[in-house]
Structure 1
Amino acid sequence: MLLKELCSLKLHLFDQYKAKEEHLKNVFTELFITEGDIEKVNHEHEVLQIDDAFKTCKSQNRSIKCNDVFSLNKNEKKKIVLTKGIAGIGKTVSVHKFILDWAEGKANGNIDCVFLLPFRKINCIKNRAISLHEFLQKFNPEMQDLETTKINKVYKCTLAFIFDGLDESRLSLDFDSGMVTSVEERSSVDELFASLVNRTLLPSALVWVTSRPAAANQIPPEYVGLFTEVRGFTDQQKEEYFSKRFKDTTQTSRMISHIKKSRSLYIMCYIPVFCWITATVLQDIPIGNNAEDINTTLTEMYIHFLEHTKLLDSNETMILKLAKLAFEQLKKENIVFYEKDLQACDIDVSDFESTGMLTEIFQQEAGLHEVKVFCFVHLSVQEFLAAVHVFLCYLNKNMEELQFFFEETQNKVRLNCELQSESPLHYLLVKIPDSRLMDLDMSHNELQDSGVKLLSDALKKPDCQLKILRLESCKLTGQSCESVASVLQSSNSRLIELDMSNNELQDSGVKLLSDGLKKPNCQLKILRLESCKLTGQSCESVASVLQSSNSRLIELDMSHNELQDSGVKLLSDGLKKPNCQLKILRLERCKLTGQSCEFVASALQSSNSRLIDLDMSYNNLRDSGVKLLSDALKKPNCQLEILRLKRCALTGQSCESVASVLQSSNSRLIELDMSHNELQDSGVKLLSDGLKKPNCQLKILRFEIQMHLYVDLIHMSRKTFIKLYYILYIMRCV
């Protein structure tokens, strides 16, 4: 009983913890926690992972209670429980509920003593040599008054160490060296933690570690006996939370009904802290019958949150300083900071404390040795304020502050961040076009159609100089094509290169783009539409562009789309028109056969053809198709210089066809790729013979090769003084 009383006393040391304890009893709502496993780190923004992950887990996993985490771990050799969950999902609250129920004798009676060890406080002593006993005394000063005999008994009892917030840790963890074996042995804090995890120190002790997902893999899975994940609130738990928050059942019912109408609010409210923010914002707003009555974007919610708490009116200067702090620390990936960090942003801690903002958007905690620890109430609040700082930097033309976001070389910019269409930073970038910006890459961001609409509006402004735009993998649909098409036909547009690959544009989207490409103001020269869910119907639209008198298109990539032979026929018809300017055509993995080669061959020998670079790799062309292509390559009108036929089901017979091209007086071929085909030695020998002919212009050759032919080719190139480069495959590659 003495040990339990000792640890219970810890829960009542500070007045603020008493308040939290009472509040926890009144409003605590059971969370949806599941048993899981370590997964590959998902670099997508945490909020964006919620909906899909929650739908999956509800049907596949049973819920477990936070009080059961140790009892569910049946692995006698691995005493570690690792719980992950995104910011604000309820990890720390679950830990506090576990301790409270244990201290009151409601659960885990087999545990004699529980030590709560937040990493944000551990950071304060991370550079000290310290023993485990001294370490625990820092967190539990009352242990210093215990008699020596009682201290020795402590470490023979069943102990539970709860390390909360691994993602906030600034320790350098190494689980393989410098292990500690005694509670009196002094070492670094990170070695003490690692020794408890790998059980060289107090092997019978129970250890529970909580972390955000991105940091959870710092602990090797071989040390973990049970993985759990806090998933947030289920629908029923959301209703329970709001019912506890608002005693008025009518108000609660209307608020829950409205949240269900707004998908963005509905998803966000899986996270308990968002429920709190939503309740704070909406509690005094009359709720109508339409979902539009209430703001639903995260940005708007936080603006109204600040307005509701009156912080914008009374503490504007401090808000701006906190915004700078949020930005500077986010750059360093810090979500916990200390007094020196505040001072670097011109924040005086004593003045700051007098503003009364601690419980609204910013928190201060007592660290060790009177060191003060600070954080925002939630990561998304920090992100929002950081975006506010960025926005103000743009307004004030403070470009030096914003260099962090860009890799800039001669007016070329690649954004070093992941954006959502509704993020304040994205809104900022499109509302204030940089007149110097000529190359913008926003690929692999959650822009969606709404984001491209905003971007397109900026591109039509007269001061916009942008020439190159990359939007690969941005979750776009054909609706974005309509927005971009409006840019292409604008008299202000200077766009010459566009990449919309890996988006579900479909044929309807390409039709809209094509209409824009035919307008007289359109300057576009390069268009990439790889993996856009297209069919042969898109080829008809593009072909109409190629034969337009206004078309300036010189490069087109439609790879990884099911164009099939019928689509290539339409494209080839366009290539033969006198207005066609196309020089580069890429058709990798388009479900083509040798029949496509017949259509392309007719285009190549046309007097109007300007095609110099053709890629038909990863199609089932076979030898018959290459024979048709080769016949065209020997015609005087053919301009082709680069031909790629990688993995096209070819044999040595194709080498005979190509060799006849190489020795033709009309051939302009300087680069050829026939790799990943079954050419065999006999086929390569035929190619070698073609390379020796005086008319051969080839400079680059790629194919799989055998060692004895390597020597023959080197000898041949010296004899004929041909500058020949090739890739040597000693082993067959995939």
Structure 2
Amino acid sequence: MDEFRGRVITQDDVEIFRGHLSQYKMHQLGIFNEYFREDLAYIVETVDTLSILRELSFRGIVTVEHYQAIKKQCGASVFAEMLVEDIYASGRDAVLGFWESLYFLQNDYPHPNLLGALDELTQTGETLEQKILLDLHGHDLPEQLKACQMEHKQYLLEKTQNLEEHTVPGTSQKPQRFHISERYLDLIVASGHHFRERTQHEVIETGGKHEHYLQKVHSNLERIAPNRLFRWCHRLRCTPHAVIVCGVPGVGKTTLMQKFVYDWIAGELYQRFAFVFFFKFRTLNTKEEVSLQKIILDEYPHLHKNLSEILQDPQKLLFIFDGLDESAHQMDFQSSELCASPHSLRHLNVIVVSLVSQSLLKGCSVLITSRPTRLASIDTKVFPRVCEIMGFFPRQREMYFQHFFGNQDIAKKAFHYVRENGMLYTFCYIPSYCWIICTVLSMCFKDTKKIVQLLPKTVTQLFVVYVSNILSNHSQDLDRAKELLTSIGWMAEHGVMNHNLEFEEGDLATFHVTFSSKLLSSFMVESAHSQGVTYSFFHLTIQEFLAALVHYLDYSAERLKEAVEKAQAFEDGRGEIFIRFISGLSDSSTRSLLKPYLGDLSSEASRDVITLLKDMTRSVTTHEDDGVDKRKTLNIYACLSESRNKALVSDTIGNNTIFEFSEFHLAPLDCTVLAFILESYQEVERLDLDACFIQTEGLERLAPMLHKIKDLSLSQNNLKNEDMPIIYSIVTHSECQIQKLSLRENGLTEECCGQLAWAINENTSLRDLDLSKNKLAGEDFYQLLTVLSKPTCRIECLGLMEIKLTPEYAPSLCSLTNNAQLTHLNLSYNFLSDTGSSHIKDLIVASPSLKEIRLGTNDFSEEVLADLRRMQTHHPGVNIEI
């Protein structure tokens, strides 16, 4: 977060800020409150609860205990919304005090959403009210243009008001249509330029970033709601005119744009734009030399009479271009080849670049969507705001299941199953993956006799069940099923290896694929364009699965080895899921699910893959500090996890029981993979997860295996009080072998001390505990200190550095002399000061086994420091570090 830190905010700065706000009347503050409502609720939910409540209490606005109780009872989201509502209802002074508190808190919590709101309020305050009202009510247009606008909105309404949901493949059910307001679920959109040098499959990488973003309080990812895409950008101090929204396949880019346009039509979003033009790059591919005017009229012929007048006010126009990755035209946004007139004939790429660079229709706004991999190859500096769709929040995943199943009992049962399965749950951040998973589970729950056998445990098994159920619905085509899947499998593999997601009729002919087959239509969709017909798989991962499956349907040792080597060589990581599917299909129980429909799949392919996995595993170590090597290690571990082959793990990894992943971001999926590896061992010497950002979900995935680690380091993972039940379950496990545990520099506070005390009291193995750099000071800290001071306590090394201890704790610290095992104690970087120094001296003198105590930076005077140095002379058995 250092990139967001400015100068330290002083009380004088706060007074100036309050003076700035005081110029506004209550009705204006109400307009601002409504405008920033989502931001404020999100900020309150994100910032440390106790810190914000204490600031508000200091200003006499709220009672800390009351709102803490609300949060415990209702959860963080409800608490945040309620606090914002209550403050506004409390009147002008409360509203000013709330903003004042937020302004002061940016010292310790420089979250980009907080900085952005404060910056927009102070930098644009004089015109902000006008901008808000313009977005609410729009421009006052001449009657002719107003009628034209209504016609245009009606035209777009017919195209955007409904969402179509696929039905279970292979059935005769027709796709269902729903009003977009019934089924649309909000997606996380985060700002940032994160598209260079991708070394992972984009679905996996973004899944990891997604979880990191959700959990990490001091994230440098700024949450951007749709109504903030064209709002003030505090990084560049401007209102952006050009925005890119990117996202992996299936994450909902097009749906987000559809909802954006629908909300504009309904008057709920950006009425500053009198006209919105929505295009898809895929439909523009045939256009060579063309004018902007013709592009618009080809899509919106009803604008013919008024287009010239419409284009005279560019600042009232928004152009949306969906699917840059599907464009056949190369976009160079730094190009000097530009056009200035909407009537000029130019190549499509020149027109788009000219709109973005403002040489064409200066003042207009442009919104473009793309896959991240396409953005990695272009210069996006000309875009003031670059965002990435991260997918569903956990709550939205659950809502999706409820919508899909309708039956609440089945929805809960299905979601619980997925929630307990780290592999499947992580992929649920992508809406289209949610659909695939729900589709498979709906098939499983229909057959109660086979439910245990059918429920997938890995991503490979998910797609095996998906395919087997399609085949079961096409019993009349089973004679040709293997032949057809072989043909489309080789076409899919060709596409994966050559980064091809769309296929033309010539491609189908080359691979002997006949699209007239009903079975084929369960895997691929036909799209008609003005330039012809193209075919694509329902989802990229279906293509990747079929590309892997074909090697078991039509085995060739040479082609298999070549495919794996080529997939491994892709620097952007796009071959990873393909290799995981290849690995997962090596498991005979996984392949057996397809046997009734496709016969025996190649056991020779399985043996070859296991040999390849052995070679891959032996080629990496877990001791490398280089991030690329750690990623490579985890990718291979993921393949082992998909294979479900524990014997292979012990055979290839062998006696290596030291796992080092410090300062390497582990996504929850990585944690699930690592848990599978750890499961193959009776005990593990060391697991270093310092600064891996594993947080709640990652910790949950690892928890069942962590009791067998002798030396476990979980420092700098932003673990919270809410995570203490998981830590408790690990430390109190009946077979716990943990001797050394580091929880250093997390987000733990006094609230967790009670449960931590119980855990230590029940544990018999722990000898070294580091709790440094957590805010543990408070009433509940005494419970922890009581347990640590028991004669039966086995803790030998105790880290309590920088936990906010003040002189009042010094007398109680003396009780640690009762712990006859304590040899090393770190109390440095606290606030014990001279007032507490006498008790610390007593602690040193009376401790029966103390060998080292660290007391540096405790606000001691020179006189006290001199006394401590003299004590060192008289007590040579204790090393006193000051």
TM range (shorter): 0.5 to 0.7
Per-residue deviation, 1:98: 0.8
Residue-by-residue CA offset, 1:445-503 (whole Å, 9 max, x unaligned): 61218729888978999xxxxxxxxxx9999989979999xxxxxxxxxxxxxxxxxxx
Residue aligned with 2:178, SS:
helix
Aligned partner of 1:374 in structure 2 is 535
Quick one: distance in 2 between partners of 1:28 and 1:155? 35
Residue aligned with 2:289, SS:
coil
How has the CA–CA distance of structure 1 residues 356 and 70 changed in structure 2, closer, same or farther, with 3 Å as cutoff? farther
Letter in 2 for 1:269: C
Letter in 2 for 1:153: I
2:269 to 104, 107, 125: 107
Residue pairs, 1:416-435, within 5 angstroms? 418-419=575-576, 423-427=580-584, 431-433=606-608
Residue-by-residue CA offset, 1:173-223 (whole Å, 9 max, x unaligned): 223231121111112122222222222222222111122222224443421
Residue aligned with 1:124, SS:
coil
Alpha carbons 1:121, 1:373 under 8 Å: kept: no
Alpha carbons 2:240, 2:384 under 8 Å: kept: yes
Alpha carbons 1:281, 1:301 under 8 Å: kept: yes
Aligned partner of 2:292 in structure 1 is 132
Aligned partner of 1:3 in structure 2 is 149
Residue pairs, 1:165-314, within 5 angstroms? 165-175=323-333, 176-286=335-445, 294-310=455-471, 313-314=475-476
| 1:29 aligned onto 2:191 | no
1:335 to 486, 501, 506: 501
Quick one: distance in 1 between partners of 2:609 and 2:209? 38
Residue pairs, 1:402-481, within 5 angstroms? 403-406=562-565, 418-419=575-576, 423-427=580-584, 431-433=606-608, 444=632, 446-448=635-637, 451=640
Quick one: distance in 1 between partners of 2:439 and 2:495? 26
Quick one: distance in 2 between partners of 1:219 and 1:264? 32
Aligned partner of 1:116 in structure 2 is 278
How has the CA–CA distance of structure 1 residues 224 and 263 changed in structure 2, closer, same or farther, with 3 Å as cutoff? same
Per-residue deviation, 1:237: 1.0
Quick one: distance in 1 between partners of 2:341 and 2:238? 21
Quick one: distance in 2 between partners of 1:347 and 1:190? 34
Residue aligned with 2:608, SS:
coil
Alpha carbons 2:339, 2:359 under 8 Å: kept: yes
Residue aligned with 2:385, SS:
strand
| 1:95 aligned onto 2:257 | yes
Considering only CA atoms, is the larger Rg found in Structure 1 or Structure 2? Answer: 1
How has the CA–CA distance of structure 1 residues 150 and 481 changed in structure 2, closer, same or farther, with 3 Å as cutoff? closer
Aligned partner of 1:690 in structure 2 is none
Per-residue deviation, 1:32: 2.1
Per-residue deviation, 1:111: 1.5
Residue aligned with 2:399, SS:
helix
**Long gaps (5+) in structure 2:** 1-145, 165-174, 587-604, 620-631, 652-659, 688-708, 712-882
Residue-by-residue CA offset, 1:491-527 (whole Å, 9 max, x unaligned): xxxxxxxxxxxxx99689xxxxxxxxxxxxxxxxxxx
Aligned partner of 2:806 in structure 1 is none
Letter in 1 for 2:242: I
Residue pairs, 1:456-605, within 5 angstroms? none
Quick one: distance in 2 between partners of 1:319 and 1:15? 36
Alpha carbons 1:477, 1:505 under 8 Å: kept: no
- With normalisation by structure 1, the TM-score equals 0.55
Residue aligned with 1:181, SS:
coil
Alpha carbons 2:323, 2:369 under 8 Å: kept: yes
Quick one: distance in 1 between partners of 2:519 and 2:309? 44
Per-residue deviation, 1:267: 0.9
Per-residue deviation, 1:284: 4.1
Letter in 2 for 1:6: H
How has the CA–CA distance of structure 1 residues 72 and 481 changed in structure 2, closer, same or farther, with 3 Å as cutoff? closer
Quick one: distance in 1 between partners of 2:357 and 2:176? 33
Higher helix share: 2
Letter in 2 for 1:304: V
- Give % identity: 22
How has the CA–CA distance of structure 1 residues 322 and 407 changed in structure 2, closer, same or farther, with 3 Å as cutoff? closer
Count of aligned residue pairs for this structure pair: 470
How has the CA–CA distance of structure 1 residues 357 and 27 changed in structure 2, closer, same or farther, with 3 Å as cutoff? farther
Quick one: distance in 1 between partners of 2:308 and 2:566? 57
Aligned partner of 2:158 in structure 1 is 12
Per-residue deviation, 1:119: 2.4
Residue aligned with 1:423, SS:
helix
Quick one: distance in 2 between partners of 1:275 and 1:217? 27
Alpha carbons 1:362, 1:377 under 8 Å: kept: yes
Quick one: distance in 1 between partners of 2:268 and 2:368? 22
Alpha carbons 2:231, 2:239 under 8 Å: kept: no
Residue aligned with 2:536, SS:
strand
Residue pairs, 1:594-673, within 5 angstroms? none
How has the CA–CA distance of structure 1 residues 357 and 159 changed in structure 2, closer, same or farther, with 3 Å as cutoff? farther
How has the CA–CA distance of structure 1 residues 272 and 102 changed in structure 2, closer, same or farther, with 3 Å as cutoff? same
Quick one: distance in 2 between partners of 1:435 and 1:254? 35
How has the CA–CA distance of structure 1 residues 83 and 20 changed in structure 2, closer, same or farther, with 3 Å as cutoff? farther
- With normalisation by structure 2, the TM-score equals 0.46
Residue-by-residue CA offset, 1:243-276 (whole Å, 9 max, x unaligned): 2223222222222222221111221112111211
How has the CA–CA distance of structure 1 residues 347 and 184 changed in structure 2, closer, same or farther, with 3 Å as cutoff? farther
**Long gaps (5+) in structure 1:** 462-471, 485-503, 509-532, 536-734
